[in-house]
Chains A and B, each alone.
Chain A
Amino acid sequence: MSNGNTDATNGDTATETQTNGLSADDFALYDRQIRLWGAKAQEQIRNANVLLVSLRALGTEIAKNLTLAGIRSLTIIDDEPVVEEDLGAGYFLRDADVGKPRAEAAIPRIQDLNPRVTVTSGGSLAELMSKDQNYYAAYSVIVACDHDFTTLNVINTGARVAQRPFYAASIHGMYGFVFADLVSHEYVIEREQSNMPTTIKPESLTRSVTSTSSKKEPTGKTTEIVQKREIYCPLLLANSSPLPKEILSNRRKLKAVPALLPCIRALFDFQRTFARLPDHTPQDAALFISLAKNKAGELQLPQDTLTGDFIKSFMQNIGAEIITTAAFVGGRLSEDVLNVLGQREQPIQNFALFDFETLVSPIYCLYSPPPELVMPALNGHVGLLNGLNTVAVPIAEGVVPAAEVLELE
């Protein structure tokens, strides 16, 4: 396998190391989190190589969280020069770093958080844009922050062809989103056994229960172990997918859909057309408003969802980085990544919105089944079609199946 990254990864690391147990030092250091998700999940986390694209405020939080949790390696791609504005939320950067490439400047301080993790720079974004699926296959999860729609799609496509989970996220002042394309993801949920046994059946358009079992706890209670599967679609499809039926058919739920959703879609469109963020000019505002109205219509939202006040507030926030939003969105994304690596807990399916002005944070499943060959309609990436197999394949062959993870009794 040839890929441009020699530092952090060397092929199928997941398969090579899955049998290694955790050391006594690992147990001592990671004690409190192993008590939450168990030793097997921690082992899978320790065997994970994560690719993080962009190290602005959001990337900073994600890098911190994943490094603390003890993944095997973190590869960061951000070769943009540090500017003074980055110092506000970029707490791994100092005044003296202004002008240096962002990832290279911050990496020593990220590395310092946990010597057990290998933290390296993955080179330039331009290089990443020309990588094939072999490059992506070397990673357990790919996370891309703060990039425009086209860039996110290129990375999403690469990850999907390699059948690797992909996350995209952005923050704009008090607003943000997380998108997930985990291709097909199997996971377990443990809960106290209730009188109603869980039945093996589809639970939604994308989620199904695949098996159930139970175990006795030291407290005397019985825990039910439910194995589920979620199937996903790429960002390109999600961005044009309608809201799920149960939202569209429920007036109250439809009314509760925040105006943030059409605004984020409008922002994607704006960036695609102009290759920049909207400015605070009347022209850009007018353009943005018409795009947002379009998207609100497309989503079948009620007329009064999109208010002038909200658009004003959103446009004022576009491009702004504030640590609180970065910490929350980055923290929640990191939690999802760690759970996906450990194959535990419900992952985000597939679009989480964050509005900290009104303190709401809904998740919507914006899903259309990915027909083969639909995705790489992007110029210059036809090569990614080789070996394309999009539907319902377990993500990483090297990862231990969830049933074995729990040592069922």
Chain B
Amino acid sequence: MQRRDRGTVQAVGAPLTVRVKNSRVLLIGAGGIGCELLKNLVCCGFGSGYIPPNGANGIPSPKHTPGITVIDLDTIDLSNLNRQFLFRKQHIKKPKALVAKETALPFNPAVNIDAQHASIFDPQYTVAFFRSFDIVFNALDNLAARRHVNRMCLAADVPLIESGTTGFNGQAQAIQKGVTECYDCNPKPVQKSFPICTIRSTPSQPIHCIVWAKSYLLPELFGTSEEEANDMVETEGDDQEEVKKLRAEAQALKKIRGLMGTSEFAKAVFDKVFYEDIERLKSMEEMWQTRKKPVSIQFDTIDKLSAAEGAALASQDQQSWTLVENLAVFCHSLATLTGRAQAGESSIDFDKDDKDTLDFVTSASNLRSHVFGVLLHSEWEVKQMAGNIIPAIATSNALTASLSVMLGFKVFRGMLAAESETATTNGHTMVMKPNNPPLGGSKFIFLNPRSTERIITTQNLARPNPACPVCSPVYAELHIPPVDADGNGMSTLQDLVGILIGNNDYAHFTISTEAGVIYDEDMTDNYSSPLAELGIEPGSSGFVTITDDDEDPRADLVLSVTAAPADGGLSIESHISYGKLPLKPVPAAPPTESGTAPDVKSAMNGIALLNREKRKRGAGDDGDDEVDAAAAKRAKAAPTASDAVVTIDDDGAILLDD
């Protein structure tokens, strides 16, 4: 151990320091939380490797080559630099993962970092890839990627530390298959959408006008997509007659597209949406009985500024533009977008960082706000609402990333305890308590920014939700043998069905892939198709789900697909012996205080994955966990004498090789 490791060794103990040094860590995301996380991991020596001098025994050998792998799809933007401290101005537009590695390496020259500029959805990131790590840290900014990584970690049975921040708020939690709830055990809020009539006919707030400009007017003029935008939906409350008329209105607008590039274009668009359509709405008296009637405006009656003035105004994003100014920016942005469309851009969609589209959306939404008597806003403000920008600061990211790595230490402490009930280090016998708390005493931790009483709030990790479609299935591997040089030995769906019936005792069942059902009793058309033709082949990151259709169905079996080892045939590798799949959890079971209904619980207990029983928690409240944490701590510190006078010999904890 080096002198630079002294602080970590003193704080968490030598065995745990060695364990994290010899770990393989996957960090997904090198943004706000990711930069902080990488710094913490590097400074604590995660993945820096440790070979004991003189081959001291008792130290677990690394699972694979120690190191930190960091994956990020993004490139660096100016607005990242206030918090993503591994990046500088000269790095703008470069890949985050690569620059993060370059900046963080000198923090600890011993560390091994593998940086990958890629999407975590890419097919090379298979279940086997995930399984090659001891732990995965999420530092993501979107729901889809979080859910994907959650599922991959469940399938690979690798602990996941999940985290997120918004403004001053932040949270971190540890997730492990069969031990804790997963990211998808509770439904997540969906993106807010508005009824179509509110957006198209009766806006009453600035956001309604912004959605109209961004998801209706811009696509109608410059888009190609036939799909409805997802922030604007038809709801039961919407008047069907009115919806029909709105369709006709949109058709009329499409015709105006034909004028694009002519001198009448701006006037035609303007008068269509701010005069004709508004006049039609005004004529519907019943609509305005409880609402303020809009006031239509006409192109020719508003003063015009020069094109240069319009362009100049567009750069002043802090001030609220007047009606005349909004018209000038509207004409300016319409001309710019027209230029782009005519230069060959077939579809121009809204992007908050595409200034032309932002100018258009800001001015058009403000003009509409004027018509409906809604407050006008500056471009800077509109950008936030239109682009769903979440405020972000350096400190929340730092706090949350710190908590993630704290949880990481606890998870490794739990692993150490599980890996060796007794181990010898430096002559001391470490006696671990048999019933270690799950994940080393990890919690669900929240920042508590406005409290006068506490900085963080913690909750015990909840048990898995037995009805969760993501973590209740049994995950296993489908090994597919290679095809020989003559093209023989190609596995077919029939082969897979044979295995399921023959070895796994299935009778009535359905097989589906991400693309849909490929087999059930009434659907045997694919029977002789090679699995590869059905999208089931090694290297694909998709899953194959086997659903039991028996009266007392067993849990879903979800297969990830890998290449069979040399000479191996088509087979299913599972932690659970064939025929012993647990019964399917009763979906009706509501999350009770224990989180499980009794019969379901016994079924879940049947999942004898690895040494999971040992880690299962009891009723456990805060008090119990504190005792456990203290016990782990005690076991870590060198065992010492009496209560009256405490002696702490540090030879068990401080190892320095000079």
Contact = CB atoms under 8 A, between A and B. Distances in A.
Interface of A: 24, 27-33, 35-36, 39, 57, 61, 64-65, 68-70, 83-85, 87-89, 91, 94-95, 112-115, 173-174, 189, 204, 207, 216, 218-220, 280-282, 285-286, 289, 307-313, 315-317, 319-325, 327-328, 330-332, 334-335, 338, 345-346, 349, 352, 354, 356-363, 365
A113 B108 CA distance: 19
B395 A285 contact: no
Most chain A beta-carbon contacts within 10 A, residue among B10, B384, B645: B10
Most chain B beta-carbon contacts within 10 A, residue among A220, A331, A352: A331
Contact of B633 (A91, A309, A349): A309
Contacts of A207: 452
Contacts of B317: 24, 27
Given A61-B398, A361-B456, A320 B375 contact: no
A352 to B, nearest CB: 6
A85 B395 CA distance: 25
A72 B39 CA distance: 25
Interface stretch (B204-212, B428-436, B493-501): B204-212
26 contacts: A27-B380, A33-B394, A69-B393, A69-B394, A88-B108, A91-B39, A91-B42, A91-B43, A113-B85, A115-B89, A173-B11, A173-B12, A218-B375, A218-B377, A219-B205, A220-B204, A280-B647, A282-B647, A322-B7, A323-B40, A327-B402, A331-B399, A345-B449, A352-B455, A358-B630, A360-B458
B4 A315 contact: no
A323 B79 contact: no
Counting from the closest, the 6 A-B pairs by CB-CB distance are A173-B11, A36-B391, A331-B398, A320-B10, A321-B7, A361-B455
A173 B375 CA distance: 53
Nearest to A206: B452
Contacts of B384: 35
A189 B409 contact: no
Nearest to A337: B395
A233 to B, nearest CB: 16
Contacts of B646: 282, 285-286, 289, 308, 311-312, 315
B637 A64 contact: no
Interface in B5-21: 5-8, 10-12
B43 A89 contact: yes
B168 A313 contact: no
Given A69-B82, A220-B205, A316-B650, 12 more contacts: A70-B82, A189-B450, A218-B205, A286-B646, A308-B643, A312-B640, A315-B646, A316-B10, A323-B40, A328-B403, A345-B450, A359-B456
A84 B168 contact: no
A335 B375 CA distance: 33
B206 A346 contact: no
A1 B429 CA distance: 64
Given A88-B8, A358-B626, A327 B399 contact: yes
Contacts of B204: 220
Contacts of A64: 85, 394
B229 interface: no
A396 to B, nearest CB: 22
Contact of B43 (A204, A323, A363): A323
Contacts of B239: none
Contact of A218 (B11, B42, B206): B206
Interface string B512-533: 0000000000000000000000
B39 A112 contact: no
B61 interface: no
A87 B45 CA distance: 12
Contacts of A30: 82
Contact of A313 (B109, B453, B637): B637
B44 interface: yes
A322 B455 contact: no
A360 B454 CA distance: 8
B402 A345 contact: no
A334 to B, nearest CB: 5
A363 B391 CA distance: 26
B385 interface: yes
B368 interface: no
A75 to B, nearest CB: 20
Contacts of A320: 6-7, 10-11
Interface string B376-403: 0100110011000111111110110111
B650 A280 contact: yes
A320 B88 CA distance: 31
B637 A312 contact: yes
Contacts of A94: 106
Interface in B36-54: 36, 39-40, 42-44
B629 A332 contact: no
Contacts of B406: 324, 328, 356, 359
A88 B44 CA distance: 7
Nearest to B456: A361
B637 to A, nearest CB: 6
A283 B633 CA distance: 23
B455 A332 contact: yes
B148 interface: no
A117 B163 CA distance: 30
B455 A68 contact: no
Given A324-B402, A327-B402, A332 B395 contact: yes
A188 to B, nearest CB: 12
Most chain B beta-carbon contacts within 10 A, residue among A280, A308, A323, A357: A323
Nearest to B381: A218
Most chain B beta-carbon contacts within 10 A, residue among A68, A94, A114: A68
Given A32-B79, A316-B637, A316-B648, A324 B4 contact: no
A341 to B, nearest CB: 13
Contacts of B402: 323-325, 327-328, 331
B451 A363 contact: yes
Given A29-B81, A315-B646, A359-B443, A35 B391 contact: yes
Contact of B455 (A31, A174, A334, A354): A354
Contacts of A324: 40, 44, 402, 405-406, 409
A317 B12 CA distance: 9
B78 interface: yes
B623 to A, nearest CB: 10
A344 B136 CA distance: 36
A117 to B, nearest CB: 12
B392 A33 contact: yes
B649 A280 contact: yes
B614 interface: no
A173 B650 CA distance: 14
Interface string B21-32: 000000000000
B318 interface: yes
Nearest to B380: A27
Contacts of B458: 359-360
A282 B645 contact: yes
Contacts of B11: 173-174, 317, 320, 322, 325
Contacts of B88: 112-113
Given A308-B643, A322-B12, A328-B402, A28 B79 contact: yes
A281 B645 CA distance: 10
A218 to B, nearest CB: 4
A207 to B, nearest CB: 8
